[in-house]
Amino acid sequence: MAACTAWIRALVLAGGIGAALLPSSAFAQAVAADAGIPIESDLVKSKCGGCHKPDANNRMTRISYRRASPENWERTIERMVTINKAAVSAADARAIVKYLADHNGLAPSEARPIAFEFERRLIEWTYDGDKDVATLCSGCHAFSRVMSERRTKDEWAGLVSMHRGYYPLTDNQPILNGSGFRRSRSLPPEETDKRQPMEKAIDYFAKTFPLVTADWTEWTSAVTPANLGGRWAVTANIPGKGPAYGEMTVTADASPDTFVTKTTMTVAKTGETVSRTGKALIYTGYQWRGRGADAGKPDEPWREVMFVERDRTEMWGRWFTGAYDEIGIDVKLAKISGSPMVLGAGQLALKRGGSASVTIFGANLPATLAPGDVSLGAGITVSGVAVANGVVTARVAVAADAKAGPRDVVVAGVVKPSSLVVYDKVDGVRVLPRAGLARTGGAVFPKGFQQFEAMAFANGPDGKPNTRDDWPLGLVDAKWGVEEYSATFNDDDLKYVGTIDAKTGFFTPALDGPNPARSGNRNNIGDLWITADYTPEGAAEPIRARAQIVVAPPVYMRWMASEVGK
């Protein structure tokens, strides 16, 4: 009963909040009244059953009343081991995560909106449900963490109690810069909802994220074994390098739902190739969690998180590495069948009135092609075509009066819509991301890096800059630099916080730890402008774009679930 002991200890230390919780026996009875999911796994019953007693219908306390993503189950089991001292071997823990994510998992429709949570992306995202509830949780983690679970009401209450017990400050921590407290936020006089914020959250969770949903019921009856073996065409976008294309060969491994992979990719702009081998596991019939390494670099693993579409002909997601999972590429895989496929072009844009060599990537394309087999639309003349290693290279001339706009690429009758754009002139350059984040490291803790890229834009149909219809024209070779972002007088961040590679836009932060050379022994943290100077063809003056970077201290905890791909 190690779990219970730690639980009680946490409550005692938390002080004064025990009244909000049900005693454990009453709690067990309360949850048993709901429709829990029976646990059929002998391993789960033997390893978890000491504390989580099964009832006559194999419904185990707590476990049967929750569904979650593989990452969330991993986090739970890690907590049971580190805090509650559950004795589980690594191999058993993996098997338990697999069973629970398969049988007490999320339906595809529940996981799809929060794919970024599993893909470890830093994206701009706001939960569009209850703002108070979102604020309550997102002080420490994104609300998508909450959305990667489904529970009964009693189970949600148990989760909130766990947070209050383990982190007693969650009740009276100042939030929103001192405008209130979680427990006793100042309510405006017209506010009629006087519930304590945690109570409000529990009610909201029970209603919005219930254990039993139509989507989950449907998926559990519809799911079939994921036979993903075969050849998959890879379309990738590599930050700082642009589009890359290649192929992944997936072969079924010994255990069910496991695969070995072999991937080759070519970066369209530079021609550099990536060769990688890996292993992957499928959870819940659609969640790909893999791990691979480049040839000759076995110590630098890349994790793979992908969503397999129900028809098993497409999967998409992110492959990533780095101490903070900050280095990643976007990928989209399409199953290669017998018929030819066009994946895309090596560049995003063609200038009006110019000529260019366009590389077109695909699969099963004919070994020989005539100029007439390749079309990029009206006003673009294809004068010659060569095919080498499955890559088509077309010599094209763009008429001065060719209509500006997105173009389809057609090879041997196969159409890839909106593959590139015809433009008149470069109207601007943007540095992406607009606001970056790096973390000091190298002395004790690992560094967190940030890749920037300079994307050229044309104003698009409306002729106005910075609107949704702007056309991205592709990455340009900018000259990278840094400038002071004045946050204080005599700001000296420029000297201390890090450097950017003038050619590649890759920002490397400085060392962690206090710096005696700085006023007040400040860390090497700070903020800078990242600048990119680019001179478009024919222009006299360079265009300058910039973005902000914050160099922050390390994070001293590693919360990310990284075992699910093993």
**SS3 of residue 281 by DSSP:** strand
Tell whether residue 186 is a contact of another protein (CB under 8 A).
Answer: no
> At its nearest, how many Å lie between another protein and the CB of residue 105?
23
> At its nearest, how many Å lie between another protein and the CB of residue 542?
10
Q: What is the chain's length?
A: 566
Exposed e or buried b per residue across 404-443, where buried means at least 16 C-beta atoms within 10 angstroms of its C-beta: beebebbbeebebeebbbbbeebbbbbbbbeebbbbbbee
Chain positions 40 to 79 lying near another protein, rule: CB under 8 A, are 78-79
341 and 414 Cβ atoms separated by less than 8 Å = yes
CB-nearer residue toward another protein: 292 or 441: 441
Q: Which pairing describes strands 405-411 and 453-458: parallel, antiparallel, or unpaired?
A: unpaired
Among 466, 501, 502, 503, binds another protein (CB under 8 A): 466
CB-nearer residue toward another protein: 11 or 228: 11
> At its nearest, how many Å lie between another protein and the CB of residue 120?
10
CB atoms within 10 A of CB 309: 16
φ, ψ for residue 535, nearest 5 deg: -105, 110
CB-nearer residue toward another protein: 400 or 487: 487
> At its nearest, how many Å lie between another protein and the CB of residue 220?
31
CB-nearer residue toward another protein: 339 or 490: 490
Q: Binding mask 145-174 vs another protein (x if CB under 8 A, - otherwise)?
A: ---------------------xxxxx--xx
AA letter at 539: A
Exposed e or buried b per residue across 373-397, where buried means at least 16 C-beta atoms within 10 angstroms of its C-beta: bbbbeebbebeebebeeebbebbbe
CB-nearer residue toward another protein: 410 or 543: 543
> At its nearest, how many Å lie between another protein and the CB of residue 534?
10
CB-nearer residue toward another protein: 26 or 517: 517
Chain positions 281 to 340 lying near another protein, rule: CB under 8 A, are none
Q: Binding mask 422-461 vs another protein (x if CB under 8 A, - otherwise)?
A: -----xxxx--xxxxx-----xxx----------------
- Minimal CA–CA distance to 341: which of 322, 361, 363, 360? 363
φ, ψ for residue 406, nearest 5 deg: -70, 145
394 and 369 Cβ atoms separated by less than 8 Å = no
CB-nearer residue toward another protein: 223 or 323: 323
Tell whether residue 370 is a contact of another protein (CB under 8 A).
Answer: no
Rounded to 10 deg, the angle between the 197-208 and 153-166 helix axes is: 140
CB-nearer residue toward another protein: 282 or 327: 327
Tell whether residue 405 is a contact of another protein (CB under 8 A).
Answer: no
Q: In what order do the strands lie in the sheet with 450-451?
A: 450-451, 506-509, 498-500
Cα 540 to Cα 122, 375, 444, 514, 534: the distances in Å are 37, 34, 47, 45, 11
H/E/C letters for each residue in 2-61?
A: HHHHHHHHHHHHHCCCHHHCCCHHHHHHHHHCCCCCCCCCHHHHHHHCCCCCECCCCCEC
Tell whether residue 536 is a contact of another protein (CB under 8 A).
Answer: no
> At its nearest, how many Å lie between another protein and the CB of residue 92?
18
Tell whether residue 82 is a contact of another protein (CB under 8 A).
Answer: yes
Q: Which pairing describes strands 543-552 and 149-151: parallel, antiparallel, or unpaired?
A: unpaired
Measured torsion, CA atoms of residues 397, 401, 402, 404, in degrees rounded to the nearest 10:
130
Chain positions 547 to 566 lying near another protein, rule: CB under 8 A, are 548-553, 555-559
CB-nearer residue toward another protein: 283 or 485: 485
Among 22, 175, 206, 397, binds another protein (CB under 8 A): 175
Among 24, 29, 138, 508, binds another protein (CB under 8 A): 138
CB-nearer residue toward another protein: 173 or 251: 173
Among 306, 546, 564, 565, binds another protein (CB under 8 A): 546
**SS3 of residue 259 by DSSP:** strand
- Minimal CA–CA distance to 481: which of 501, 456, 510, 496? 501
Number of chain positions touching another protein (CB under 8 A): 74
Tell whether residue 16 is a contact of another protein (CB under 8 A).
Answer: no
Span interacting with another protein, options 232-240, 347-355, 498-506, 537-545, rule CB under 8 A: 537-545
> At its nearest, how many Å lie between another protein and the CB of residue 445?
6
Q: Binding mask 205-244 vs another protein (x if CB under 8 A, - otherwise)?
A: ----------------------------------------
> At its nearest, how many Å lie between another protein and the CB of residue 17?
13
Longest dimension (CA), the chain: 81
CB-nearer residue toward another protein: 152 or 170: 170
Among 2, 8, 10, 414, binds another protein (CB under 8 A): 10
CB-nearer residue toward another protein: 25 or 556: 556
Tell whether residue 115 is a contact of another protein (CB under 8 A).
Answer: no
Residue 540 tokens read as 């006299």
> At its nearest, how many Å lie between another protein and the CB of residue 538?
16
Chain positions 483 to 522 lying near another protein, rule: CB under 8 A, are 485, 487-491, 493, 513-515, 520-522
Measured torsion, CA atoms of residues 481, 531, 493, 486, in degrees rounded to the nearest 10:
150
376 and 417 Cβ atoms separated by less than 8 Å = no
**SS3 of residue 432 by DSSP:** strand
> At its nearest, how many Å lie between another protein and the CB of residue 487?
4
